[in-house]
Amino acid sequence: RAPAAWLAQGLLRIDEPLREHALPLGPSPIATGGELMTGKVGVDVTPEEAKEAAKWVGLNLISTLKAEVGDLDKVKVHKLVGFVNCADDFHAQPGVVNGCSDLMVEVFGEDGRHARSAVGTNALPLNVPVEIEAIVEIKE
């Protein structure tokens, strides 16, 4: 069951067009029950838990796209940029972000294959373990 569409907080927008049909998004890892997943990978969150959080970011991205676009067959994923809140000695950021990447391919097929960056950082807003921005095209 997909979660409800993510709503932008504060002054943020969920859709800021880069071109006529592109849409960058970046929701937090919020599971179906509404709880925000938090913690630093390699300290109080395992890599597997962080990968699951990345999957929830992906599910929230998809829910938002469904609410905004309606027909997910119109979506083509171009790029994901993943940030992992992690300990200094954690070096498996791509494995964490794979939680979202794998989901995009599972849901969108070839249109879900994308370019990607996965980087580690010492902190993220609200202490989330992962934050992922997606740049997608809405096909006519």
Between 69 and 48, residue with greater pLDDT: 48
Number of helices (H), then strands (E), belonging to the chain: the values are 2, 4
pLDDT for res 11: 45
pTM, 2 dp: 0.84
Between 17 and 45, residue with greater pLDDT: 45
